[in-house]
Amino acid sequence: MTDSPSGVSPTLAERARSGDRRALARLLTEVENRTSKGEEALRALYPLAGHAHLVGITGAPGSGKSTLVAGLVSEARRHDAPAGPRPVAVIAVDPSSPITGGAILGDRVRMQIHAGDRDVFIRSMASRGHGGGLAMATVAAAAVLDASGFPLILIETVGTGQSEVEVAAIADTTIVVQAPEMGDEVQAIKAGLLEVADIVVVNKADRPGADRAAAQLRAMLTVGAQHDHAAVAAGRPRPKRPDVMLTSALTGAGVPELLAALDRRASRTRSSETDGTALKRAEAQLSGILAQRLAERLRSGDVAERREATLRAVAAHQLDPYTAADELLAALTDFDRA
Amino acid sequence: MTDSPSGVSPTLAERARSGDRRALARLLTEVENRTSKGEEALRALYPLAGHAHLVGITGAPGSGKSTLVAGLVSEARRHDAPAGPRPVAVIAVDPSSPITGGAILGDRVRMQIHAGDRDVFIRSMASRGHGGGLAMATVAAAAVLDASGFPLILIETVGTGQSEVEVAAIADTTIVVQAPEMGDEVQAIKAGLLEVADIVVVNKADRPGADRAAAQLRAMLTVGAQHDHAAVAAGRPRPKRPDVMLTSALTGAGVPELLAALDRRASRTRSSETDGTALKRAEAQLSGILAQRLAERLRSGDVAERREATLRAVAAHQLDPYTAADELLAALTDFDRA
């Protein structure tokens, strides 16, 4: 694999960079499927990335994330926007199912108002089938979009699971969306969502109780930040105290203010906090690729048969998994030396 | 690391096996934290496991999973139970948060009615902090409980994320819990839950609409199984068609029938389907341990410094992650050969 200009994939990468959206879509598929073409393109594009503002948007089902994302896209595309209109990309990490074939995308239908706008690029990504490498796949897709000229990349994660929260947390800025209904605060705490938030958005501010919910959240977050003895004892930094903002994706209230807050964060000199998330992204990429390399080697040559037999022995409880792992690693090393 | 009887951990393992619940709890902590003590104990205990029925119980928040788990525990402990009372263990995979310190466990309070019963063992497990190895940690804990004499192990996963669904799916039997409220069916489809279900439980059957919800689910699952062209095209087997059962964890209705259905599944000769999940568990264990070994090697000796510098270069977009991974693997190999 080289990144010579005569290769096929650099051309795909070059076409994506020159504004060819179909090439960009194809390239993202190659990257998501971890093909050699995708790898080649990412090798070429990665050094050109690192300029976009990655914004993770997460929250419980029903919080109105997708509508808020659509509102942010519209605001970023407004011709009279304070910072001017700019290209914006959305990566929607969506649960996929062989049963539905990904057909249930009702939330995403709203985005079709941007269908004719080539400076809005929307990409759905399966949350399953990455073998635990969801963060890696998302970071790779964001790097491609970044290198292809999108200064603002919104990463929407549906659901409140471990992997989904991790994906939102590797963004430069993480927004946690809440609906003002009672009980949501507790749901967010239970899901460990608030600790990854840079901005907490109380959405559906048109509903009664929104102001009270925002006030409660602010009070709770202040107390939480002051009393996190666990973090102090464990040598971890006290959690940052996120901003709380009110929006109504329905009426559009608060959305310009939210985008302005995002832009202020993007224009700040990269702080150590931001560098920390860049390191986290690098780590997600590296460990994902290393795991992939290891898996490939275990599935090739003489080692593959050995692996199959070992798995069956572990499944039958004839062999413990640690001994099995050590045997496989030894087999790999023998294989390397032969 | 040996499993000689003079070691400290085999003694801990032996004490756990002999019915010492405090030793069992300590052992599970060692296993969860992946200490060398935990590894040693698991090496000793793993060949003694493989007899328990692992039941995964998952569903959207508010579906009443925890109450149903409590009901199943009570039923399994009834002295006049058809299959007789038997020890039962619960692994509750719970979102943990440094802010809450795991204090919000309201759902689990119900289980305290079994606090005096030494044949009921309840274990909470953090869903975060396993570096993607949640399935591995859960399988390891289940093996310890299995070898310690629990024939029935209920694995409750809260939330609907990728990792949580994966954990429920590696059980011998996976129960997906639904509340009869409208919209839940769609939520389950969106989360890809139904495709991992062996049994779908419509809980809260005391509420209106439960029978209708069950009938709708049955109809939908029949259609889904018949028309999964995507699975056929991809060479995957058509998804199994799960049973649909009604329970009311509140009144106890349907819970004896559910336990009886579980017992029927447990007593069946191990089918190829069951062997498939055993292989999946073996794979989760092996790949988790291999990733751990690789991470340990990357963090030790001369390689550690190289890794840090590489991560910083990737974070600064001076180096692409594939080249970085290849350089690190080469460094590891050089290190091995030196």
Task: Give me the sheet containing A120-126, strands edge to edge.
Answer: A120-126, A88-94, A152-157, A53-59, A173-178, A199-202, A243-246
Q: How far apart are CA A195 and CA A216, in angstroms?
A: 16
| CA of B81 vs chain A CAs: smallest distance (Å) | 30
Residues B42 and B61 in one domain: no
Backbone CA torsion sign across B268, B273, B279, B282: negative
**Residue A232 within a domain:** yes
Are B230 and A322 in contact (CB < 8 Å)? no
**Residue B223 within a domain:** yes
Are A50 and B317 in contact (CB < 8 Å)? yes
User: What mean pLDDT comes out for the span B205-218?
Assistant: 85
How many CA atoms does the CB half-sphere of A276 hold within 13 Å? 7
Query: pLDDT at residue B55 above 70?
Result: yes
**Residue B145 within a domain:** yes
Which domain, by its residues, includes B104? 49-271
- Give the range among A105-109, A293-297, B160-164 with minimum mean pLDDT: A105-109
Which CATH number belongs to the domain containing residue B106 in this structure? 3.40.50.300
pLDDT greater at residue B101 or residue A53? A53
In the 8-state DSSP scheme, what is residue B114? G
Most trustworthy range by pLDDT among A170-184, B6-20, B243-257 = B243-257
Residues B217 and B116 in one domain: yes
Give the model's pLDDT for residue A321. 94
Residues A205 and A122 in one domain: yes
Residue of chain B nearest A291, judged by CA positions: B291
**Residue A230 within a domain:** yes
Residues A71 and A39 in one domain: no
Q: Does B283 touch chain A (CB under 8 A)?
A: yes
Complex-level ipTM: 0.81
Give the model's pLDDT for residue B236. 52
Give the model's pLDDT for residue B141. 94
> What is this structure's pTM?
0.75
Structure tokens at B220: 């939908």
Give the model's pLDDT for residue A82. 73
Which residues on adjacent β-strands are paired with residue B89? B121, B153
Residues B169 and B67 in one domain: yes
Query: pLDDT at residue A92 above 60?
Result: yes
Are A162 and B128 in contact (CB < 8 Å)? yes
Task: Give the pLDDT confidence of B175-196 residue by residue, as tens digits.
Answer: 988 887 745 555 555 556 777 8
Q: Which residues of chain B make contact with A105, given a CB cutoff of 8 A?
A: none
**Residue A284 within a domain:** no
| CA of B116 vs chain A CAs: smallest distance (Å) | 27
Residues A152 and A42 in one domain: no
Residues A143 and A179 in one domain: yes
Residues B128 and B111 in one domain: yes
Query: pLDDT at residue A230 above 80?
Result: no
Query: pLDDT at residue A2 above 50?
Result: no
Q: Does B191 touch chain A (CB under 8 A)?
A: yes
**Residue B278 within a domain:** no
For chain B, what is the radius of gyration of the CA atoms? 22
- Locus of tokens 């340990």: B296
Task: Give the pLDDT confidence of B214-225 residue by residue, as tens digits.
Answer: 888 888 777 665
Q: Is residue A21 within 8 Å of A119, Cβ to Cβ?
A: no
Most B CBs within 10 Å: which of A2, A162, A226, as the mutation test of the B interface?
A162
Average pLDDT, chain B: 79
Q: Which residues of chain A make contact with B278, given a CB cutoff of 8 A?
A: 315-316
Give the model's pLDDT for residue A102. 35
For residue A87, the SS3 value is coil
Residues B133 and B75 in one domain: yes
Give the model's pLDDT for residue A139. 92
Residues A116 and A247 in one domain: yes
Residue type at position B184: D
**Residue B246 within a domain:** yes
Q: How far apart are CA B331 and CA B292, in angstroms?
A: 18
Q: Is residue B312 within 8 Å of A279, Cβ to Cβ?
A: yes
Give the model's pLDDT for residue B259. 95
Nearest C-alpha neighbor of A35 from the set A3, A1, A4:
A1
Residues A88 and A8 in one domain: no
Give the model's pLDDT for residue A215. 87
Give the model's pLDDT for residue B321. 94
Residues B67 and B36 in one domain: no
Number of domains in chain B: 3
Task: Give the pLDDT confidence of B66-92 residue by residue, as tens digits.
Answer: 889 989 999 999 888 777 799 999 998
Residue of chain B nearest A279, judged by CA positions: B315
**Residue A292 within a domain:** no
Q: Which residues of chain B make contact with A96, given a CB cutoff of 8 A?
A: 192
Residue of chain B nearest A47, judged by CA positions: B317
Count of other CB atoms within 10 angstroms of residue A330: 11
Average pLDDT, chain A: 79
Q: How far apart are CA A40 and CA A13, in angstroms?
A: 9
Q: Which residues of chain A make contact with B336, given a CB cutoff of 8 A?
A: 333
Residue of chain B nearest A34, judged by CA positions: B322
Q: Which residues of chain A make contact with B60, given a CB cutoff of 8 A?
A: 61
Q: Which residues of chain B make contact with A279, given a CB cutoff of 8 A?
A: 311-312, 315
